[in-house]
Amino acid sequence: MRFSVVIPTFNRAAELRRTLASLAKINSPGTWEVIVVDNNSSDTTRKVVTDATPDFPVELRYLFESRAGRSAALNTGIKAAQGRIVATTDDDVRFEPDWLRQAGAALERERCDFVGGKVLPIWGAPKPPWLSDQGGPHWAVIALLDFGPDSLEFGKRRAPLGVNLAFKREAFDRAGLWSVEIGRKAGTLLGQEVREWMLRARDAGLRGMYAPKMVVQHVIPNDRLQKRYFRRWFYWHGVSRAMLYQLRPIDMGAPEETNLDFSKVRLIFGTPRYMYRSCLRSGIGCVKAALNGQKIASFEHELALWFFLGVLRQRWKDRHQPSGAGKDPGNFAGVTT
């Protein structure tokens, strides 16, 4: 089998139904399958998959994962996948008809181990004036990505989104599965599992590329277009980056570009001192931009403050823990574990 598509889901039965309907319309890329992993849903998720199965163009499988978290659900799906290429997405996505074809073509053309593509919006409400339409830090909050029309290597502040990724299966044998410690869980907005996996992938000698023709659309509901959601997301983003720092010392602002010797970096309440200076600059920038009527810039500076608060909270919590504490060794082995 050439492709396996893995979809983790939690209590989004209606949206999942539309996602499966969109996926069923893609052009046949050869033999493929779809695996839906139910992560403790209490709605009609299982019935949605069961109802869709008879008319679905390829094998559609339902799996249940009781351990909470998107990463745990993905790992279950990846272990069950039969395809040579494993694509991951979400339950609120619409697909271009050539999605899998473009994924496979990019892996062959770039001779790389994984690819990630564009994620464009389907707005559930009018886009607010403080939200940039040119990309930037705001877009990560609502899982949108567009690095332009040309192929680029991931790294150097460029990272893919889990909603639109495809891997050669052996990539997981070499770099391991997803971390269940810092992935998304109900009740939180934790979410550094892609960054953490990319660091391990780099250590394993794997290479990932941005594939601009591999396109999906992501549904952005109204409740995610509110400033309070963005503030909460950036706070949890800071918590997540601090948890990643606990696993391995990295620059929490740019993990792939870490070049500091953290044995020599001074800490205040467990947090690198240079981050306090960055926080001060963000505070000043927020005020200046607001006074100049620059709504987008002002809010971006404000979100940097929420990020710092999340970092500070988690680093204070972990300040007495040795570096590397909390690792889940079983998760870092390959697919065959």
How many angstroms separate the CA atoms of 120 and 90, rounded? 14
How many angstroms separate the CA atoms of 267 and 166, rounded? 39
**Distance between start and end Cα atoms, the chain:** 21
Q: Write the burial class of residue 112 (CB in 10 Å: 0-12 exposed, 13-18 middle, 19+ buried).
A: buried
**What are the structural domains, with CATH classification, of the chain?**
3-225 (3.90.550.10), 229-318 (no CATH)
Could you list the pLDDT tens digit for every one of the 337 residues in the chain?
A: 899 999 999 999 999 999 999 999 999 778 999 999 999 999 999 999 999 999 999 999 999 999 989 999 999 999 999 999 999 999 999 999 999 999 999 999 999 999 999 999 999 999 898 887 777 778 889 999 999 999 999 987 789 999 999 999 999 999 999 998 887 766 778 888 998 999 999 999 999 999 999 999 999 999 999 999 999 999 999 999 999 888 888 888 877 776 777 778 888 888 889 999 999 999 999 999 999 999 888 999 999 999 999 999 999 988 777 665 445 533 444 443 3
What per-residue confidence (pLDDT) applies to 337? 32
What per-residue confidence (pLDDT) applies to 140? 86
What per-residue confidence (pLDDT) applies to 189? 81
